[in-house]
Structure 1
Amino acid sequence: MPAAPALPSPSSAPSRSARSSRSARAGAVVVASVLGLGVALCAPAAQAASAGPAGGAVVTRAGIDPALTAGRGARVDFLEQEAEHAATTGSVIAADRTAYTLAAEASGRSAVKLAPGQYVEFTLPAAANAITVRYSLPDAENGGGISAPLDVTVNGKDRRQLSATSQYSWLYNQYPFSNDPKAGLLHPDWWITECGCVPAATTPAPTVATPFRPGHLYDEQRLLLGRTYQAGDKVRIALPAGSKAPWAAIDLLDSQLVAAPHVEPKAVNVLALGADPTGRRDSADAIERAIRLARAVHLPVYLPPGVFQVNRHLAVDDVTLIGAGSWYTVLKGTQQTLAAPAPDGSVHTGVGLYGKDAAQGGSHDVHLSGFAIEGDVRERIDTDQVNAVGGAFSDSSIEGLYLHHTKVGIWLDGPMRNLRITGNQIADQIADGINFHTGVTDSVIRDNFLRNTGDDGIALWSEKTADARITIDHNTVQSPTLANAIAVYGGTDTTVSANLVADPVREGSGLHAGSRFGAEPFAGYLHFTDNTTVRAGAYELNWNIGLGAIWFEVLDRDIDADIKVTGDHYLDSTYNAIMAVAEWGVKDRYKLANLAFKDVRIDGTGTSVLSARVAGSAGFENVTARNVGAVGVNNCGTFHFTPAGSEFTVNDLGGNSGGGTTGAWLAPWELPNTLTCDDRPPVVAPPAPSAW
């Protein structure tokens, strides 16, 4: 559990609490002024989008023109359309990045708000028989959510209802958050930036308005349309007149043409072992019988179309489970309260597929594909094992799953090796999307699409034993409501390549590497290659400063591995494009060295290209920037302000060009270590990114 933050000194502010059961560390980021005014968040300019093949259909990727993200991100079979580009009788929510708002958590930082009787209408850009709608409904007055269906019609007919609920959204307060909008502070002695104080050290104690820090505001739901509609057909999403919901916010619509259900003829069919595809009876025992039989006869298990009720973990080892496709085969369960806490601290269980514990040798040769797991997790309890996939898997694969409403989509505790996680969709998690924890080696995370995680989208956490030789490639991570889209905490020989990340909200950003949470040191190499961030460079709540679209943090030890950032694009960064930072308590002990940036493009920063708040060095070669809102290099070093200059050295390796409001981003007068420190520079909202 997180430790309470330390009291601030005149030149420090406490660090954020740990998440996902990570050990908390009290401390402070290197800042010069704690009690100053808060940073104004820039509102984004309208994002460009591409007209689709059908007239009026505006297609985006991560809320931006797909041409600007070509070749990067998950290769998916659906097309994204933002509601703010569609026809509507509702109100377009003004673009904004201020945390705790519908705009900040929306894809593209804008959505459409409907009153009862209003609609938003999308023009299909291609043939489709299935849609996913991302929406928000208000919470119940006392928490717990409400359910209020949305009407879906195509071309003014073929009416269907989309089940919509806010039971899985709306968290409040401080970590690990509350479902009660009227609750007082969970940690009254923690630093509160909203009042610029430490409550326990303040007389009288500050009052905090409720609901305090509302977040995790959106949810999504999928719907098969029953037939194939053509490009140009009109899909209307409406909040019915008379709805018990006073409003609904529609963020986006994904449309796709789903293939017919997959049939696996030479397999053990779970129906033959008594599984109920209607979802009325619990099918856990029947599926486990099928797993045992399949292992005995060396055949896969087939999960045909249907909804199978599963309210506990299913143990899997040396077995293949194949569904009819994630739109057709669903394992769905309700969260169950245990009679007594489990040895691991869990107080609940729920639907999930789990490998054996690594201490027992883990599971091997497990292959999961083609089904959905629908959980029932509505609160964050870090000791609970209520993840969609957990345990340890070696020589295994997880492919083509849809994971929804669990705590973490895939949380794996090693040591384990040779796992491929490919082509999955993970949405609406209370915590992380995918986490490789402790000694995961020689494995790949590729072509996964993640949206609306409540913590890091994809994380490598080398606690106790280093993760090694991991590749995170061609994934899309959108709208993590807390922490980072992709984060690497220690490890050896890591590659993060060709990913697309967008719209991190707070206390994290797009791409991150940190010596944090007790992780083993970085060793060998860490390569960030050909990634694109969009509207990243987010706000750090507890430090009260803006981060970088990519940022490096020193806390537990030096970061001095071979770190190369090559070919990345940082688009429309709310604050900085790049940040190098140390916690205040270790700023004179640890450093961040050997950073190398090459062939990087930066289009739009609210503040600087580089913000340096640490001792160390970085080299830049062929880094091109435009629409930079503040001084190109904001170099504070370790805030000693010595006559010798900053403790952070910037090396110009040639070919760097461009800049913004203050001239060239990398000017001779800034080199090699001129102090250019502005603790919280004003934010200048950049124009929308465009083609180079």
Structure 2
Amino acid sequence: MGTTQPTTPVRRRAWRPVLAAVLSSGLLATSWQAFSAEAATGPAGSGTGPLTARLSGDGAARAHDGDPDTYAKGSAAHWVQADLGATRRLDRVELALPGKAQQVQLQGSVNGGDFVELSDFRARQGNVTLRLDGAPVRYVRVAGAQRVGELSLFPAASGDTAPPEAPRNVRLDGATLRWEQVPGASGYDVYADGRLRTGLPTTATHWEDTTAPGGTTHRTTYTVRARDAAGNQSPDGRTATRTLAAGQGSSRAAFTPSPAKPAPQPRRAGARATTGATMPYTTVEAESGATGGGAQVVGPNRRIGDLAGEASGRKAVTLKQTGQYVEFTTPVETNTLVTRFSIPDAPGGGGTNAKLDVYVNGQKTKPFDLTSKYAWLYGPEAAPVNDPGAGPARHIYDEAQLDLGRTVPAGSKIRLQKDADNPSTYAIDFVDFEKTAAAPNPDRQAFVEPAGFGHQDVQNALDRARMDTTGKIKGVYLPPGDYRTSSKFQVYLKPVKVIGAGPWFTRFHAPAGQQNTDVGFRAADGAGGSTFAGFAYFGNYTSRIDGPGKVFDFQNISGITIENIWAEHMVCLYWGANTDRTTIRNNRVRNTFADGLNMTNGSSDNLVSNNEARATGDDSFALFSALDSGGGEQTHNVYENLTAKLTWRAAGLAVYGGQLNTFRNIRVVDTLVYSGVTISSLDFGIPMNGFGPGQSTFENLGIERAGGHFWNGQTFPGIWLYSASKPFRAIRVKGATITDPTYHGIMFQTNHVGQQPQNPVQDTELSDVTVSGARKSGDEYNDRSGFGIWANEAAGGPAVGQAVFHRLTLRDNAQNIRNTTSTFKITVD
């Protein structure tokens, strides 16, 4: 029986440099003659582009020869790829899949190296249509199919689908890349060696590369693409190559792991576990404040793109007319203020700017400076874009910060008010109160300071610490200030401590006139044991791009400490492949376009403790036991005292395989479209360890208002247990409280290929679980809602295997347990 197979896809394999691996494996490449993009009944594209396949039999060209009886044939790892020559919006992909059902996944990329998944992974056969709803892509890949008879691509039925012209006269002037403006372009994307480096506004005609790669002579090839407001991207402009001679860049040394091993923080004897992170700020919901002047509380509801539906607690306060306000009584003393807000987008996208006045005890103080540049995405749920014409809106909130300039005592009144000089309309979700103070240089003899606040000033200080031969310099102290950065800092050869004055004071900013600039830190060989603490990173990402955009992008390194970091408007805070004995604690992750953090590829013995993530664009906290980039078993990791709020795509906590890992004291609140906690053995079509034989333990989970719908109407629960392509076993849930789920509390599901289930749910026990408030949703998914526990039935499974509940409490649910299958056994004792 076929299964509807939801996943959290745009992240697992998409982060990998897939194209490099493909080219190095000696694959056959043949040409594919694409039809005109203007022909609404024919495939998109123009001219001739490569069609590349991983083969064990017939040639890839047979996937587009007009004959569905001839096909590209390969193993389960087979893929077929088409290059449209430019990025353009596609309506759909049509496939002919001969023979028995195949587990097929559709992937897309704009650079041929970083792929995102455009459809879920499921069993299909015959003639298949996969809707893309205007997703902008250049490279389209059919992955996992053993036989592909025909592959046809169709442009979006409405809107602008024609790419702009390629930039002309692309050239290098030293380290500065230059080009001529393209009529009708809304911006430009700069690529170096095939990887996106930054996005620039419509007026840009140059960009300077401040990165210094290499130890040996290094060649970097650049190109520029123009893009329009609809998301279409031009073909590459002419390439330009820069050569750095040996000695102009950094060098690499043999990897030496640090002997230090972070350990979980022990709980005091007799101390009671608490759920979630304990942060230095206090959050107050707007709906609990005092409103005046006609301000309205909106909600509750669970609708995507709605001011209430995307708010925490699912309520917000709107300020639409002059004199309307929301006022808070400060529960603690504070000298800072953060608000989560929504203001309108510009008619053509790109955001608007506005001010909102702030009063402290009746006295007007500095206003909030607000922008919606980093909010408001539209169209395809799996690949939304910054084009209001692409479809319905989502991701409509952002946050802003304000230094009050003085300490405000507890019990004071702080009011956010729309005055006559505040012409916008506003929705206020919540505010944070925090008292902060700058930390001084801990030792001026041991910590050098940058000469200024530019990117090279900081890199020079890092290099000075690295090259010290006296043993006296431990690292770099970053004094309070706003630091300008346009690329990754390089840390290598030996451990270094990079210490700021605190995230309110030491703040890195990506270039304001650009977008999607890859900034952060890259730690190379020999830097194991380094520490990064006490600073903030404010990126300029406005949409998701897989590959770049991680503040900390680490691989094959150990003993790293990341502490008291604030990351916002980035893709991720942290991505670690085969990173061991790392400690990530006391951080705040906000408004990202993918995971908050993800440990993968054998990462073991790591501690992730006391972090809060708000509004991440993929799993807030993830562990993925993949094997595609090295590593082995992923074991002995501890994720503890974590809070995930307002995850707008995927889950608050997601665990894909591994063993002997512990996840405890975790709170997940208000996921928009997905499960609160995902426990899954789906491998996403790449090598991965399943669960077991050692146990994976989940302790003291608190899940509130979680779940939603995604992947064309599939519904998700508070906790999702999904047995799929790898073994699903040795799962222990010890204490979970699920309150007011959007559709259901706990769902068991099994993936099927054709009529056959893959791996059943085995050796799975849940103790001390409470599910309450699972009610009928009253929307189009009403018949799949209201279940405390659901063994997902035939249309989306059926679940196969068994699970045991000890000390189960169910109350105030429309139906406590729904299990109409003959293939899954639920035991309650």
The SS at the match of 1:468 is coil
Contact 1:139 1:170 in 2 (8 A): yes
- Identify which of 123, 146, 155 aligns with 2:352: 146
Q: 1:262 to 1:284 in 2, by over 3 A?
A: closer
Equivalent residue, structure 1, for 2:22: none
Is the counterpart of residue 306 in structure 1 residue 473 in structure 2?
A: no
Is the counterpart of residue 292 in structure 1 residue 495 in structure 2?
A: no
What is the alpha-carbon distance in structure 2 between the residues aligned to residue 440 and residue 362 of structure 1?
17
Of Structure 1 and Structure 2, the greater strand share is in 2
Equivalent residue, structure 1, for 2:578: 415
Contact 1:504 1:510 in 2 (8 A): no
Greater shift, 460-469 or 119-128, is seen at 460-469
Is the counterpart of residue 443 in structure 1 residue 610 in structure 2?
A: no
What is the alpha-carbon distance in structure 1 between the residues aligned to residue 106 and residue 696 of structure 2?
25
Aligned-pair CA distance for 1:7 = 8.8
Contact 1:98 1:104 in 2 (8 A): yes
- Identify which of 613, 625, 631 aligns with 2:810: 625
- Unpaired stretches in structure 1, ≥5 consecutive residues: 31-68, 184-211, 338-346, 638-645, 655-692
Equivalent residue, structure 2, for 1:400: 564
CA displacement 1:333-381 (0-9 Å, x = unmatched): 22898xxxxxxxxx9643201122xxxx574011111111111111211
What is the alpha-carbon distance in structure 1 between the residues aligned to residue 434 and residue 735 of structure 2?
31
Equivalent residue, structure 2, for 1:558: 727
Equivalent residue, structure 1, for 2:280: 77
Is the counterpart of residue 259 in structure 1 residue 437 in structure 2?
A: yes
Aligned-pair CA distance for 1:176 = 2.4
- Unpaired stretches in structure 2, ≥5 consecutive residues: 1-9, 15-78, 80-91, 109-113, 125-271, 776-785, 793-798
The SS at the match of 1:149 is strand
Name the amino acid aligned to 2:479.
P
What is the alpha-carbon distance in structure 2 between the residues aligned to residue 268 and residue 428 of structure 1?
35
Contact 1:335 1:349 in 2 (8 A): no
Equivalent residue, structure 2, for 1:203: none
Equivalent residue, structure 2, for 1:181: 388
Name the amino acid aligned to 1:396.
I
Equivalent residue, structure 2, for 1:650: 826
Equivalent positions of 1:149-160 (< 5 A) are: 149-160=355-366
- Identify which of 490, 501, 509 aligns with 2:657: 490
The SS at the match of 2:650 is coil
Aligned-pair CA distance for 1:145 = 0.6
What is the alpha-carbon distance in structure 1 between the residues aligned to residue 763 and residue 95 of structure 2?
33
The SS at the match of 2:638 is strand
What is the alpha-carbon distance in structure 2 between the residues aligned to residue 511 and residue 583 of structure 1?
14
Q: 1:171 to 1:17 in 2, by over 3 A?
A: farther
What is the alpha-carbon distance in structure 2 between the residues aligned to residue 526 and residue 555 of structure 1?
16
The SS at the match of 1:182 is helix
User: Which structure carries more relative contact order (alpha carbon 8 Å, separation 6+)?
Assistant: 1
Is the counterpart of residue 585 in structure 1 residue 760 in structure 2?
A: no
Name the amino acid aligned to 1:155.
N
Name the amino acid aligned to 1:288.
L
Contact 1:354 1:391 in 2 (8 A): yes
Contact 1:336 1:349 in 2 (8 A): no
Equivalent residue, structure 2, for 1:333: 510
The SS at the match of 2:309 is helix
What is the alpha-carbon distance in structure 2 between the residues aligned to residue 268 and residue 113 of structure 1?
51
CA displacement 1:53-89 (0-9 Å, x = unmatched): xxxxxxxxxxxxxxxx981100112111100111123
Q: 1:443 to 1:285 in 2, by over 3 A?
A: closer
Equivalent residue, structure 2, for 1:195: none
Is the counterpart of residue 471 in structure 1 residue 638 in structure 2?
A: yes
TM-score (norm 2): 0.63
Aligned-pair CA distance for 1:546 = 2.8
Name the amino acid aligned to 1:74.
A
CA displacement 1:507-561 (0-9 Å, x = unmatched): 443444342323321121111111100111x12322524322111112323312x
Contact 1:437 1:463 in 2 (8 A): yes
What is the alpha-carbon distance in structure 1 between the residues aligned to residue 617 and residue 600 of structure 2?
17
Name the amino acid aligned to 1:522.
F
- Identify which of 315, 319, 322 aligns with 1:110: 315
Contact 1:130 1:224 in 2 (8 A): yes
- Identify which of 453, 459, 477 aligns with 2:622: 459
Contact 1:550 1:579 in 2 (8 A): yes
Name the amino acid aligned to 2:602.
G
Cα-Cα RMSD: 3.0
- Identify which of 499, 502, 525 aligns with 1:322: 499
Equivalent residue, structure 2, for 1:433: 596
The SS at the match of 1:403 is strand
Aligned-pair CA distance for 1:21 = 5.0
CA displacement 1:620-655 (0-9 Å, x = unmatched): 11111211122x221143xxxxxxxx1001122x2x
Equivalent residue, structure 2, for 1:250: 428
Aligned-pair CA distance for 1:572 = 1.4
What is the alpha-carbon distance in structure 2 between the residues aligned to residue 24 and residue 141 of structure 1?
27
Q: 1:336 to 1:143 in 2, by over 3 A?
A: closer
Greater shift, 83-92 or 580-589, is seen at 580-589
Name the amino acid aligned to 1:485.
G
What is the alpha-carbon distance in structure 2 between the residues aligned to residue 5 and residue 566 of structure 1?
44
Name the amino acid aligned to 1:323.
G
The SS at the match of 1:599 is strand
Contact 1:310 1:350 in 2 (8 A): no
What is the alpha-carbon distance in structure 1 between the residues aligned to residue 689 and residue 500 of structure 2?
38
Aligned-pair CA distance for 1:617 = 0.1
The SS at the match of 2:654 is strand
Q: 1:541 to 1:6 in 2, by over 3 A?
A: farther
The SS at the match of 2:718 is strand
What is the alpha-carbon distance in structure 2 between the residues aligned to residue 387 and residue 214 of structure 1?
25
CA displacement 1:657-687 (0-9 Å, x = unmatched): xxxxxxxxxxxxxxxxxxxxxxxxxxxxxxx
TM-score (norm 1): 0.75
Aligned-pair CA distance for 1:26 = 4.4
Name the amino acid aligned to 1:498.
N
What is the alpha-carbon distance in structure 2 between the residues aligned to residue 16 and residue 242 of structure 1?
51
Q: 1:265 to 1:158 in 2, by over 3 A?
A: farther
Contact 2:802 2:824 in 1 (8 A): yes
Aligned-pair CA distance for 1:28 = 4.6
Name the amino acid aligned to 2:274.
G
Contact 1:484 1:512 in 2 (8 A): no
Greater shift, 94-103 or 366-375, is seen at 94-103
Greater shift, 461-470 or 392-401, is seen at 461-470
Aligned-pair CA distance for 1:144 = 0.7
Name the amino acid aligned to 1:622.
R
What is the alpha-carbon distance in structure 1 between the residues aligned to residue 281 and residue 123 of structure 2?
41
Equivalent residue, structure 2, for 1:381: 545
Name the amino acid aligned to 2:434.
Q
What is the alpha-carbon distance in structure 2 between the residues aligned to residue 583 and residue 98 of structure 1?
28
Name the amino acid aligned to 2:307.
L
What is the alpha-carbon distance in structure 2 between the residues aligned to residue 648 and residue 350 of structure 1?
47
- Identify which of 703, 715, 738 aligns with 1:533: 703
What is the alpha-carbon distance in structure 1 between the residues aligned to residue 772 and residue 117 of structure 2?
36
Number of residue pairs matched by the alignment: 554
Equivalent residue, structure 2, for 1:368: 532
The SS at the match of 1:288 is helix
Aligned-pair CA distance for 1:239 = 3.1
What is the alpha-carbon distance in structure 2 between the residues aligned to residue 576 and residue 17 of structure 1?
29
